[in-house]
Amino acid sequence: MVYKCEKHGPYTIHMIKTNKFKLCHMEIIFRNKIVKEDITKRNILFDLLTEANNDYPTKRLLALKLEDLYNANLYSVTSKVGGAVLTNVCLDFINPKYTDKKILEETLKLPFDTLFNPLATNNEFNGRLVEIAKKRAEADIKSIKENPKKYAILEAIKTLGDKSLSSFSNVGSLKDLDKITSSSLYKYYQEVLENDYVDIYIIGDLDMEEVAKIIITYASFKIIKNHQVDFYIENPKRKPVIKQEKYVYVQTNIIAILNLNNLTNYEKKYVANLYNLILGGGSLETKLYRRLRGENSLCYNVNSMYQKYDGLILISTSVDINAKEKAIKLIKQAIKDMTNNITKEELNQAKELIISALHMNMDNIGKIVDNYFYQNTSDLDDFETRIETFKKVTVEEIYSLSKKISVSTIYSLIGEEAL
């Protein structure tokens, strides 16, 4: 695997040459500070841009074009990463050497047509497309309440407060959705092109000199950016917030948010990952699973998620409505176990899990791009360094980390008796 990057003023081209896949993959990654009021607009904008453009003014016509390109796939993904918002405009296509070498330029041109040749006139997007995108977004936002785990997590992170960037949902809101018009969305589109950092990643067994020439031809980004975009944010230690809400679900969903306070970079990147796997993010032998399911049969599943850039761990489970207090007590006991009761077997198992996941990432074309992106824009170490460093983490380092962890929120979505 050979990596090379080229800076071209407002954007950078990152080329990863490998013969590991028959598929090729390109991502145009937009990156900026997250602004709560812009999240809904961003979702709508990139949904709309990948729906149609001036050359292919309907979803069907664009789909037919993608079929002509041997079933290429064009899509976008918007995500929140700590204090930043990312939008990845992605293109998957079969290596032209297996199909038709003449279509490489035509294939790579399509995502840039999506970005620079939108279906718009007089600084307004096509009204029909805007309404279709808004209806989809409305359905997505409203459907959250139908998923008790997702709804409980979103309500729990709101307790962090409006001043915490971690409290922002990447789904958006109905209030902000109502404000979007064809003209306001076009204005935001222009702001994204002017203000977002842009990195273009392409991976595959391709002639990368030819690829770079094609990208330079169609990547019409104009403005060089120099403002700071930070992924890491701080959520200060605070007195725990205890909150509950009644809803129509049969079970009670519990979300516990843990603050990781004043961690070193080494702890953020390595020790906290292993802490989380042992606590609840790994196998069926985690502290949380053993306490809640194995020993007390309170739930079907319990897990924890480490959010490195937010400095948080989210614990989630669902239990019988009469078991809430016991479940919370057991969650706290599992957290206490992490301070003085970790076996070498648990640590070794966590290391095996994370190293196995790293190896699997290297077999996934999109994950390889993710790895290079975070190496280039954040503090992610290279593959070999990560493996060797994880191997060296000790139980004592996890105990030391556990002293920097505090409970920030206990949120319960209270169920009702089944009829």
What pLDDT digit, counting tens, does each position of 97-134 carry?
A: 999 989 999 999 999 999 999 999 999 999 999 999 99
CB 311 within 8 A of CB 260: yes
All structural domains of the chain:
2-218 (3.30.830.10), 241-414 (3.30.830.10)
Residue 383 predicted with pLDDT over 70? yes
Mean pLDDT of all residues in 197-216: 98
β-pair type (197-204, 11-17)? parallel
Mean pLDDT of all residues in 363-385: 97
Edge-first strand listing for the sheet containing 312-319: 241-246, 405-414, 252-260, 312-319, 302-307
What pLDDT digit, counting tens, does each position of 353-373 carry?
A: 999 999 999 999 999 999 999
Residue 296 predicted with pLDDT over 50? yes
Q: What does residue 156 show for φ and ψ, rounded to 5 degrees?
A: -65, -45
Mean pLDDT of all residues in 372-399: 97
Mean pLDDT of all residues in 394-412: 97
Scan for tokens 């028959």, then name that residue: 22
- Average pLDDT of the chain to the nearest whole number: 95
CA distance from start to end of the chain: 59
Residue 63 predicted with pLDDT over 70? yes
**Tokens read off for 360:** 């699997």
Residue 393 predicted with pLDDT over 80? yes
Q: How many CB atoms lie within 10 A of CB 139?
A: 9
pLDDT of residue 278: 98
- Side chain identity, residue 162: D
- Side chain identity, residue 219: A
What pLDDT digit, counting tens, does each position of 83-105 carry?
A: 999 999 999 999 999 999 899 99
pLDDT of residue 417: 59
CB 263 within 8 A of CB 232: no
Residue 188 predicted with pLDDT over 50? yes
Q: What does residue 54 show for φ and ψ, rounded to 5 degrees?
A: -65, -35
What pLDDT digit, counting tens, does each position of 214-238 carry?
A: 999 999 999 999 999 999 999 999 9
Residue 266 or residue 145, greater confidence: 266
Lowest mean pLDDT among 20-29, 242-251, 288-297: 242-251
Between CA 404 and CA 415 the distance in angstroms is 33
Residue 419 predicted with pLDDT over 50? no
Residue 418 predicted with pLDDT over 50? no
Element spanning 183, H or E:
helix 182-195
Residue 253 predicted with pLDDT over 50? yes
Between CA 399 and CA 291 the distance in angstroms is 19
3-state secondary structure of 182: helix
Residue 412 predicted with pLDDT over 70? yes
Going by pLDDT thresholds of 50, 70 and 90, the confidence category of residue 406 is very high
Mean pLDDT of all residues in 140-150: 92
- Residue 363 φ/ψ region, left for φ over 0, alpha for ψ in the -120 to 50 degree band, beta for the rest: alpha
3-state secondary structure of 246: strand
